[in-house]
Amino acid sequence: MSHKLQIRVYYEDTDLAGIVYYANYLKFIERARTEWVRGLGIDQSRLKSETGIVFAVRRIEADYLTPARFDDLLEVETTPARIGGARIELEQRVLRGEDTCFAARVTLAALSASGAPARLPADLRERLASAGAGS
């Protein structure tokens, strides 16, 4: 199951040509991941305070396919691909209508307060897996 978040391109998101600056796609997909987790009922602040677990981006494979421009209404689609013991893999796309502007495969690592890999609690893994990804 995919999560979708709409984002409007503001002037601050663009370069002098009115095209979305490449690094801003990473901000767009970060916002979408945060809303995806929130939509699953996971409070990341509480997760950190109760378990010490935080999520960190470990790897991103990104493809810039067609430019988004000032005032475009974009949709960021987040689809879980795989949930592991301490890792979450997601497919994310930034769409303008039917056109894919940006596509990424993102690997998140669950980390303890000390920065070491941490196993996801079973109930959290189940909630993430129920969103459409397997192990």
Dig out the tokens for 86 from the structure.
């301490």
| For helices 44-51 and 22-39, angle between their N-to-C axes, nearest 10 degrees | 70
Contact 135, 83 (CB under 8 A): yes
Catalytic site includes residue 123: no
Q: What are phi and psi of 25, to 5 degrees?
A: -60, -35
Q: How far apart are CA 35 and CA 4, in angstroms?
A: 9
Beta bridge partners of 18: none
| Catalytic residue chosen out of the listed positions 15, 43, 71, 99 | 15
Among 40, 132, 42, 120, which Cα is nearest to 90's? 132
> Catalytic residue numbers?
15
